[in-house]
Structure 1
Amino acid sequence: MNIGELAKQSGLAASRIRFYEAQGLISQVGRQANGYRRYGPDALQTLQLIQSAQQAGFTLQELKALMPAPGEYKRDELIEGLERKVAQIEVMQAQLEHSKAQLLGVIEAVRAQPEGVPCSMGQERVLASIKQS
């Protein structure tokens, strides 16, 4: 299929598809006599995989390292890369949970301020509570 058809089916702009090709994420792109790109039947599936992986937090560099060359399948490396990404997500979740707890503490500290207390005094108490966390 040509790039226009692939763009329509994938929902991606042709420029994005060319970018992925230039990054080495889409392989086996042929050229017609007129120089137009000709994509194989697996190109749509590859684009869908790229989109899904990016939504899951993978960078293009990580994807490139995990995607096998045509006809090649590295199961152990794929599993290792996926497990590494899960570990990174778990670290981010812990950091976000800590940040959330700090913010909830700040909200409570602000709510606990008596009416009429100058903002500068409240800010000092709030900042002190954040530093203790």
Structure 2
Amino acid sequence: MRIGELAKISGLAASRIRFYEASGLIQSVERKSNGYRDYAPGTEAVLEIIKGAQAAGFSLEEIRQLMPRSAGGWQHDELLSGLKHKVEEIEVLQQRLAQNKAQLLNVIKGIEGKPEGMACAENAQMLINRLREEGGAPASSTRKSARRAPRA
């Protein structure tokens, strides 16, 4: 299968396919006498795996480590370990995002509930102090917040 056909089927640009080939993610192909690349029929499936893995948050290096090293097939234990590790990373990220969301919602609530007559800068400083007391903002980010206080 030539690269144009593979690009059309996979939805990837030909340049991306060539990049994956140069990176060792897909098998190098022989060039025909006319210079065209001729990809094996299984290449489309490998590209789908790569696209899915990237969508799940795997880096190209992580994908490279998990892909079969030969036609012999997948390394069961390595694959399972890599997948479990990625799930753990996602869970940590989800926790961090939930904390960030809760903190942002508290800031929004503080801005929307600004006492009448209080200046925006004073309200912002009050919110920053509250975040510090609650331990919700590291010192470095509160310094940035103090410089760029939220408009309330």
- Would the TM-score normalized by the shorter structure come out above 0.5? yes
1:26 equivalenced with 2:26 (yes/no): yes
What is the TM-score with the length of structure 2 in the denominator? 0.83
TM-score for both structures, normalised by structure 1: 0.95
1:44-93 C-alpha deviation (Å, 9 max, x unpaired): 11111111110000000000000012223201110000000000000100
RMSD: 1.1
Aligned partners of 2:44, 2:74: CA distance in 1, in Å? 19
Instruction: Give the whole-Å Cα distance in 2 for the aligned partners of 1:71 and 1:27.
Output: 14
Deviating 4+ runs (over 4 angstroms): none
Name the % identity: 50
Unaligned runs of 5+ residues in structure 2 are 137-152
Q: CA deviation at 1:114?
A: 1.4
Which residue does 2:37 correspond to in 1? 37
Encode CA deviations 1:1-35: one digit per residue, 9 max, x unaligned.
00011011111110000000011000152221222
Matched, 1:94 2:95: yes
5+ unaligned residues in a row in structure 1: which ranges?
none
Q: After superposition, give the CA deviation of every residue in 1:86-117 in whole Å (9 maximum; x if it has no partner).
A: 00000100100110111111111112211221
Q: Which is bigger in relative contact order (C-alpha 8 A, separation at least 6)?
A: 1
- Matched length: 133
Q: Which protein has the bigger strand share?
A: 1
